[in-house]
Amino acid sequence: MLQIDDTIISLDLLDERFVCELDTCKGICCIEGDDGAPLEDSEVQIIENLLPVIWDDLTERSKEVIRKQGVSYIDDDGEPVTSIVNGAECVFTYTDESGKCKCAIEKAYREGKTDFYKPISCHLYPVRLQQYERYTAVNYHRWSVCNCARIFGDKLGVPVFRFLKEPLIRKFGAAWYEQLEIADVELKGRK
């Protein structure tokens, strides 16, 4: 473990390799699972406000779920998560013309319709955050649907933290990320 400010970081972020391989997995992480994507409290309102912008990109099944329960629900841990269709698929998922599952919120961002990229938990994946009283744990999450990303990351030699540079800076700031890079060099001799 490594500590930077009020975060405790798993060394797996430095040791493990990971690069998403969307051509292979087709975005299965957005349609598999037991719960929706974790949301920060502030993100629920942001997403509710975005509904008119993304509505036409959502499936009819997703619209039906949102009409019934909203954009999120509280999971078994008492935390807000994105609503899901059929117990698995995120309501913000759509399938593009090539058959890849993608995020309607991210699509709106890329089209310049919003300045909200997507929920930070999605942007940070495969990193998962766990909030404790005095610190935030920053852990690498292994999921079999991401085997192709680990293989591709090994092939390219890209550690998890480098693949996730943009979302890690979004969440923790540039100075925090610089400290992580310094720790990587000191602990592993990488450049």
Torsion angle defined by CA atoms of residues 145, 180, 41 and 144, in that order, rounded to the nearest 10 degrees:
10
How many Cβ atoms are within 10 Å of 176's Cβ, its own excluded?
17
Digit-coded pLDDT (tens) for 138-161: 999 998 888 999 999 999 999 999
Label residue 189 by pLDDT band (50, 70, 90). Answer: low
Asked if residue 190 has pLDDT above 70, the reply is no
On whether the CB atoms of residues 163 and 127 are closer than 8 A, the answer is: no
Burial 116-146 (b: 16+ CB within 10 A, else e): bbbbbbbbbbbbebeeeeeeeebbbeeeeeb
71 burial level (CB within 10 Å; 0-12, 13-18, 19+)? buried
Q: What pTM was computed for the model?
A: 0.89
Whether the Cβ atoms of residue 145 and residue 30 lie closer than 8 Å to each other:
no
Residues with Cβ within 8 Å of 53's Cβ and at least 6 positions away in sequence, in order, are 108, 113, 114
For residue 191, what pLDDT is reported? Answer: 45
- Whether 62 and 92 have beta carbons less than 8 Å apart is answered as yes
Better pLDDT: 31 or 102:
102
Q: Could you tell me which of 24, 38, 28, 9 has the C-alpha nearest to residue 153?
A: 24
For residue 70, give both structure tokens.
Answer: 């909203």
Domain residue ranges of the chain, discontinuous segments joined by +:
1-18+126-191, 26-117
Residue 2 to residue 107: CA distance in whole angstroms: 35
Cα distances (Å, whole numbers) of residue 4 to 17, 110, 138, 159: 21, 31, 10, 18
Q: Give CA separation, 105 vs 47, 69, 115, 131, in Å.
A: 8, 18, 10, 25
Share of the chain above pLDDT 70, in %: 98
